Amino acid sequence: MALKGPDDTVQTARRFYKSVTVEAAEEGFAVRLDGRSPKSPGGFPLVLPTQGLAELTAAEWAGQGEFILLAAMPATRLAFTAIEKAAAAREGLADEVARYAGSDVLCYFADAPAQLFAQQTAAWEPMLQWAERELGVQMKRATGIVHCPQDPQTLSTIKTHALALDDFHLIGVAHATPLFGSALLALAVQRGELTGEQAYNLSRLDEAWQESQWGVDEEAAERTQKLRAEAAMIGAWFAALR
């Protein structure tokens, strides 16, 4: 069975299988539906590099009801994307990660109020120091919203770190970077320095401050819940790859 998915198109089909298992395969660990592998849009079987990642995606298939809703299977969709597209798109993916680093959310501190600036400093400076220590990059800080260009060598170093990853780690970082608005947070989650939820909380300090002052409307709360779930998934993705 093949379902469209990497293009984010919502696809449904009636569930046709009873059992979901994970089995050792020649190139890793395969998800099996009644003994058969689900296929990507291009016809590639769902074979993952670690047992943990295979079990993560298998749990999504096992959790489907009468109909299969691929939009509700983020790890499976990301796996299909990694299997089909990552190898041919590595350079572009790494470029995109480096582009986000050029305006990384951790580098833009509020010029007011003082309490928010203090919160950001307490939360973000340890991560910026971690990036300097572990990634070898010295990020420029700014206050306010005026763009502060990063040194080209800094961005080149971030790209090099991205390109050093295998396809499954790289697609995870490329997915996490826009989610957090931060290449540094994405790489911190990939390396196990932060959980996905911790990185998401750090990425939205400004928004959380506004909510504490003015309250939260229903639409914003729903969006936050969805993004938090996505952050939890990407954290589980990297944990399953270790």
Tokens representing residue 66 in the block: 């009468």
- Measure the N-to-C terminal CA separation of the chain; round to a whole number of Å: 29
Instruction: Say yes or no: 145 and 43 in one domain.
Output: no
| Alpha carbons 17 and 3: distance in angstroms, whole number | 14
Domain annotation covers residue 65: yes
Instruction: Say yes or no: 93 and 57 in one domain.
Output: no
Range of the domain at 67: 12-72
Instruction: Say yes or no: 171 and 56 in one domain.
Output: no
Summary mean pLDDT of the chain? 94
What integer pLDDT is reported at residue 6 of this predicted model? 43
Instruction: Say yes or no: 121 and 207 in one domain.
Output: yes
Instruction: Say yes or no: 61 and 95 in one domain.
Output: no
Domain annotation covers residue 3: no
CATH number at residue 23: 3.30.2180.10
SS3 for 55-67, per residue? HHHHHHHHCCCCE
| Alpha carbons 1 and 37: distance in angstroms, whole number | 8
Domain annotation covers residue 102: yes
Instruction: Say yes or no: 147 and 40 in one domain.
Output: no
| Alpha carbons 147 and 29: distance in angstroms, whole number | 45
Q: Which residue has the tokens 């800080």?
A: 141
Give the end of a domain, one of 72, 99, 120: 72
Instruction: Say yes or no: 184 and 105 in one domain.
Output: yes
Query: What percent of the residues of the chain are helix, what percent strand, and what percent coil, each to the nearest 5?
Result: 60, 10, 30
| Alpha carbons 147 and 173: distance in angstroms, whole number | 23
| Alpha carbons 216 and 208: distance in angstroms, whole number | 9
pLDDT band at 2 (very low <50, low <70, confident <90, very high): very low
Domain annotation covers residue 77: no
Domain tally for the chain? 2
Domain annotation covers residue 7: no
Per-residue pLDDT reduced to its tens digit, 136-160? 999 999 999 899 999 999 999 999 9
| Alpha carbons 76 and 79: distance in angstroms, whole number | 5
Per-residue pLDDT reduced to its tens digit, 44-102? 999 999 999 999 999 999 999 999 998 999 999 999 999 999 999 999 999 999 999 99
Instruction: Say yes or no: 130 and 218 in one domain.
Output: yes
Give the end of a domain, one of 72, 97, 122: 72
CATH number at residue 173: 1.10.3580.10
* Total-model pTM: 0.93
Instruction: Say yes or no: 101 and 16 in one domain.
Output: no
